[in-house]
Chain A
Amino acid sequence: MNKYKVTFYPDNKTVEVAKDTTILSAALACGVYIKSDCAGDGVCGRCKVIVKKGEVLTQPTGLISVDEKKKHIYLACATTIHSDVEVEVPPESRMELHSGFKGIYAESEEIESKNPLSSDKIFKHSPLSTKLYLQLPVPSLNDNISDLDRLFRAIRKAQGLPVMQTGLSNIRQLGELLRDSDWKVTVTLGKRNDTVEIVLVEPGDTSNKNFGICFDIGTTTISGQLVDLNSKKILGTKATYNKQASFGSDVITRIIYAHQDEGMERLHSAVTQTLNQMINELTVENNINLNDVTCIVCTGNTTMIHLLLKLDPAYIRREPYIPTANFLPVLRASEAGIIINPRGLLSCVPGVSSYVGGDTTSGVLSSCLYKEKNLSILIDIGTNGEIALGNEDFLVACAASAGPAFEGSGVRSGMRASSGAIQKVKIDPKNFQVSCSTIADTKPRGICGSGYIDLIAAMLDAGVIDRSGKIKLENHKRVRISETGKEFVVVFKEEADAAEDIIINEADIENLKRAKAAIYSATAILVKHMNFELQDVKKIFIAGGFGTSLDIDSAIKIGLLPELDRKKFVFIGNSALSGARQMLLSAQATKAAEEIARKITYFELSVDPGYMDEYMAALFFPHTDLNRFKRQGR
């Protein structure tokens, strides 16, 4: 078979591939990340590349214009290689150059929950795994029970624990280990649902070194937190983009991708690589031995958890939308490819259904929505937006596919909420001067979700854009027409910490408009479905990793949130991660999460005939029905 060399610029990476391989596959094979929202179906048009040299064959597509054809621009996924070729990946199609990726592994700012019911305080401290230092009585002719029984006896005496088990490998080394350590050992006890397992036996006293990590595995962003399981102290928090993003931006394309050759393998290794790198960074920074990390709690939507555990997600997508598992037993982290203590545990937050996963459960847990007396709502704004409505008596939830825009992905100057991200924007309506503030007050590097919300509100106010999101300002140095359409310069590169101007274009605004429409219409439909009015909702928890703060007025101005009394809104940041941390630290929280997951009724939006109407009407700033946003009206 013929083999050809493909060289990618500006990375200058070369790979040898067989004839008929697509440019997209070749790029992946040598670690060049090209954007592809549709995972190579040839329908999203994001993977445009320039073929500088060599022969290629391409399928006809409407996504490449005549002008682009002349410039030798092709869709990487629809173009196959027929000689040695040289390919230039333009900035629009690159994943690394995307300013968001500069923020990789940056410290993510924590938002203190202002919710008085802050659930951290209500659960008893009883971590998923505990360490216990034991000084065993030395065996004698009178006290001649076996080593293992001796160990069990000491543990029972110390903690009064019932059923116990342990692995053969622990027992094998026990005889020598106990004698070498002079009968002074530390046992790590893990809760595996209703039984307790001796995870590990170590010589000497290491009981002060016991750590756990919780993760929120989002479709676009993964955040992780290192916790000292003894003191409950948070030692570090990290967030980064999910490496799976190069295989499609939403869960459906990833499910489809999982069924391609090696698709599942690639998706699984992308997520475990991301997790392992984060674990590595967190432990190195805090000078912690990987062996002392004894447990992990993961939350995330159902598809993300399936891919983490290599469970086939295919049936999530097909009617009647059945996941392989919602409630998972406590597993060993190494079975999922997560590198901590080799015998360390992995617990996943229980999910509700195919499209409402553990992240909703942990959000409801940490926001204490399930303990509210009055009707309350939790809106988790992410790629897969989840909305839960209820109180102490009932819980109902739905999911809305919003796309990654609010997480700073799929938008030109977008970035994650990390230092340098613009999160507040003001525009002078007279001279269109932009003033903005960034996270950590550094020079701006890009715009995060809350920054986009503020920016669109400011552009509407100043008359830079009209209510449909088209840029109407003309003849101003900040407005220009580029190859991708009209754009507005937020910060010129001279004043920014970026290689190019920080801009927002009409396509970005369209993406953000669709995202806000999906969230708003799902909220409105869910409330309507339960025969309530939006005015009946007494408290609204806003969750999501799009910034350290959210301007509620701006969010209402653009129609992301319903127009209700500002005092009803509580911004709680990444509530899914907080919920996972609570499960890491308390068995009570785990029990509560299980109850919540059982209690939530799933509401499928796609079968509601009114959803599409609602969504279409929400594709306007703030909404086509101005009566719903009277204060934002004329």
Chain B
Amino acid sequence: MAWELMTEKWSGEVSTVTIGATKEEGGTRSHTLKIGGEKSLPCLFQEGNIPHEPKVAFEIWDIAPLDWPAELMLPYAETLRDPLEWANKCVRDYKAQGLCIRLQGAHPDFGDKSPEEEAKLIRKLLKEVSVPLIILGCGDDAKDNLLLPACSEAAKGERCLIGCAVQDNYKTIATSLLADGHNIIAESPIDINIAKQLNILISDMGLPLERIVMNPTIGALGYGLEYAYSIMERSRLAALSGDKTVASPFICFVAQESWRAKEAKNENSPEQGVIWEALTATALIQAGADLLIMRHPKAIQKVNQYIANLFGGK
């Protein structure tokens, strides 16, 4: 007897966000990263089209990180001191498709670099490498309001992804990204309502919903991953049911969380950190993550392999 697979019919879809602009599009990137566009839950290829597989971008910093575990510093070694060399290593040696630069050095407690200095770095970085760029502020609201507009201006036309905008601090960032043609990261604290509200607030400023990427805030494996998972699942279900205000793709800061886990820092078992980062990433891919920000080349390799296995055979 013939049988038919029960499928869910969804009325909505996740919006597609393009990061990076090629020459034809007015930028200087060698390629673009397209994320989102899903018409079904992750990997349910029969239920709806999943046009773009999840992407991984390498996280680099503008200053040498001091508290990274030795295992994580090892692959980058001396290049950690120079963001341009570090970027080059990621692209040249580890074949990074995208880079995510965190401007940690601008934080008042970590060097307090000026917005002009950081904008200069962004310009140099865009010349040095040709992959699409994600730019992160330092996390201090007041400083980010000066820093991010300066970087946005410096990267004008390159269609970067810049953030993070939060509920109490989104106006200045959204205004400048709107003017310079970038995409925005909207961060909410594992809260579907705030995620939605922030998307509405940003789009009320004139930045279209199609240029927003949501950072749902995650926890690492063993550190609240399941909370992030269920929030991501809930918002994705709402998006697929037709709620445009939560239909943005997800960006997940995987490395930042997973390398903080004490299991990841176990010096007797250096491989464990890599595994922790890869496992956190793969779980989030199943929750619907579209863009993963990771650090260790080996973990990234494993995750890319996993993505190829899952999405390659579709």
Bound together: yes
User: What is A's interface to B at a CB cutoff of 8 Å?
Assistant: 466-468, 470, 472, 616-617, 619-620, 624-627, 634
Query: Is the pair A466, B204 in contact by a Cβ cutoff of 8 Å?
Result: yes
Binds A, one of B45-53, B157-165, B178-186, B193-201: B193-201
A627: chain B residues within 8 A (beta carbon): 243
Query: Is the pair B193, A624 in contact by a Cβ cutoff of 8 Å?
Result: yes
Query: Is the pair B245, A468 in contact by a Cβ cutoff of 8 Å?
Result: no
A625 CA to B196 CA in the complex, in Å?
A: 8
Known pairs A466-B171, A467-B197, A634-B204 / 20 extra A-B pairs, C-beta < 8 Å: A466-B201, A466-B204, A467-B200, A467-B201, A467-B204, A468-B197, A468-B201, A472-B171, A616-B191, A620-B193, A620-B197, A620-B200, A624-B193, A624-B196, A624-B245, A625-B243, A626-B200, A626-B245, A627-B243, A634-B203
Question: Residue B168 at the A interface, CB < 8 A?
Answer: yes
A617: chain B residues within 8 A (beta carbon): 193
CB closest residue in chain A, given B244: A626
Shortest distance between the CB of A510 and any CB in chain B (Å) = 12
Query: Is the pair B197, A624 in contact by a Cβ cutoff of 8 Å?
Result: yes
Q: Which residues, 171 to 221 on B, are CB-close (under 8 Å) to A?
A: 171, 191, 193, 196-197, 200-201, 203-204
B167: chain A residues within 8 A (beta carbon): 468
A627 CA to B197 CA in the complex, in Å?
A: 13
CB closest residue in chain A, given B209: A634
B204: chain A residues within 8 A (beta carbon): 466-467, 634
A625 CA to B197 CA in the complex, in Å?
A: 9
B171: chain A residues within 8 A (beta carbon): 466, 472
Contacting residue for B193 out of A466, A467, A470, A619, CB 8 A: A619
- Ranked nearest first, the 8 interchain pairs of A and B with the lowest CB-CB distance are A616-B193, A624-B193, A624-B196, A620-B197, A617-B193, A466-B201, A624-B197, A467-B201
Q: Select the residue from A470, A624, A625, A626 with max chain B CB neighbours within 10 A.
A: A624
Shortest distance between the CB of A485 and any CB in chain B (Å) = 12
Shortest distance between the CB of A418 and any CB in chain B (Å) = 36
Q: Which residues, 77 to 125 on B, are CB-close (under 8 Å) to A?
A: none
B168: chain A residues within 8 A (beta carbon): 470
Shortest distance between the CB of B11 and any CB in chain A (Å) = 12
A466 CA to B243 CA in the complex, in Å?
A: 20
A/B interface sample: 25 pairs, CB < 8 A: A466-B171, A466-B204, A467-B197, A467-B200, A467-B204, A468-B197, A472-B171, A616-B191, A616-B193, A617-B193, A619-B193, A620-B193, A620-B197, A624-B193, A624-B196, A624-B197, A624-B200, A624-B245, A625-B196, A625-B243, A626-B200, A626-B245, A627-B243, A634-B203, A634-B204
A472: chain B residues within 8 A (beta carbon): 171
A468: chain B residues within 8 A (beta carbon): 167, 197, 201
B191: chain A residues within 8 A (beta carbon): 616
Total CB contacts across the A-B interface at under 8 A: 31
A625 CA to B195 CA in the complex, in Å?
A: 12
A634 CA to B201 CA in the complex, in Å?
A: 11
Q: Select the residue from B191, B197, B203 with max chain A CB neighbours within 10 A.
A: B197
A624 CA to B192 CA in the complex, in Å?
A: 10
Main DSSP-derived SS at the A contact region: loop
CB closest residue in chain A, given B191: A616
A620: chain B residues within 8 A (beta carbon): 193, 197, 200
Q: Select the residue from B167, B191, B193, B243 with max chain A CB neighbours within 10 A.
A: B193
A617 CA to B243 CA in the complex, in Å?
A: 14
A468 CA to B200 CA in the complex, in Å?
A: 10
A16 CA to B193 CA in the complex, in Å?
A: 52
A49 CA to B163 CA in the complex, in Å?
A: 41
CB closest residue in chain B, given A613: B193
A624 CA to B200 CA in the complex, in Å?
A: 8
A504 CA to B3 CA in the complex, in Å?
A: 64
CB closest residue in chain B, given A616: B193
CB closest residue in chain B, given A466: B201
A467 CA to B193 CA in the complex, in Å?
A: 13
A625 CA to B199 CA in the complex, in Å?
A: 12
CB closest residue in chain A, given B196: A624
CB closest residue in chain B, given A627: B243
Q: Which residues, 23 to 42 on B, are CB-close (under 8 Å) to A?
A: none
A619 CA to B167 CA in the complex, in Å?
A: 13
A493 CA to B154 CA in the complex, in Å?
A: 46
B193: chain A residues within 8 A (beta carbon): 616-617, 619-620, 624
A467 CA to B196 CA in the complex, in Å?
A: 12
A590 CA to B193 CA in the complex, in Å?
A: 46
A616: chain B residues within 8 A (beta carbon): 191, 193
A466 CA to B206 CA in the complex, in Å?
A: 13
Shortest distance between the CB of A464 and any CB in chain B (Å) = 13
A470 CA to B171 CA in the complex, in Å?
A: 11
Shortest distance between the CB of B304 and any CB in chain A (Å) = 36
A634 CA to B204 CA in the complex, in Å?
A: 8
Shortest distance between the CB of B222 and any CB in chain A (Å) = 27
A634: chain B residues within 8 A (beta carbon): 203-204
A470 CA to B141 CA in the complex, in Å?
A: 16
Shortest distance between the CB of B193 and any CB in chain A (Å) = 5
B230-255 interface bits toward A, Cβ cutoff 8 Å, 1 = contact, 0 = none: 00000000000001010000000000
B201: chain A residues within 8 A (beta carbon): 466-468
CB closest residue in chain A, given B202: A466
A619: chain B residues within 8 A (beta carbon): 193
Shortest distance between the CB of B282 and any CB in chain A (Å) = 29
Q: Which residues, 249 to 273 on B, are CB-close (under 8 Å) to A?
A: none
Shortest distance between the CB of B68 and any CB in chain A (Å) = 32
A619 CA to B198 CA in the complex, in Å?
A: 12
Shortest distance between the CB of A101 and any CB in chain B (Å) = 33
A624 CA to B201 CA in the complex, in Å?
A: 10
A620 CA to B201 CA in the complex, in Å?
A: 10
A624 CA to B234 CA in the complex, in Å?
A: 15
A468 CA to B194 CA in the complex, in Å?
A: 10
Shortest distance between the CB of B179 and any CB in chain A (Å) = 17
CB closest residue in chain B, given A619: B193
A472 CA to B191 CA in the complex, in Å?
A: 23
Shortest distance between the CB of A258 and any CB in chain B (Å) = 36
CB closest residue in chain A, given B171: A472
B196: chain A residues within 8 A (beta carbon): 624-625
Shortest distance between the CB of B17 and any CB in chain A (Å) = 20
A616 CA to B190 CA in the complex, in Å?
A: 13
Shortest distance between the CB of A626 and any CB in chain B (Å) = 6
A626 CA to B193 CA in the complex, in Å?
A: 12
A334 CA to B233 CA in the complex, in Å?
A: 62
Shortest distance between the CB of A244 and any CB in chain B (Å) = 34
Shortest distance between the CB of A619 and any CB in chain B (Å) = 7
Shortest distance between the CB of A516 and any CB in chain B (Å) = 15
A470: chain B residues within 8 A (beta carbon): 168
Shortest distance between the CB of A253 and any CB in chain B (Å) = 27
Shortest distance between the CB of B140 and any CB in chain A (Å) = 18
B200: chain A residues within 8 A (beta carbon): 467, 620, 624, 626
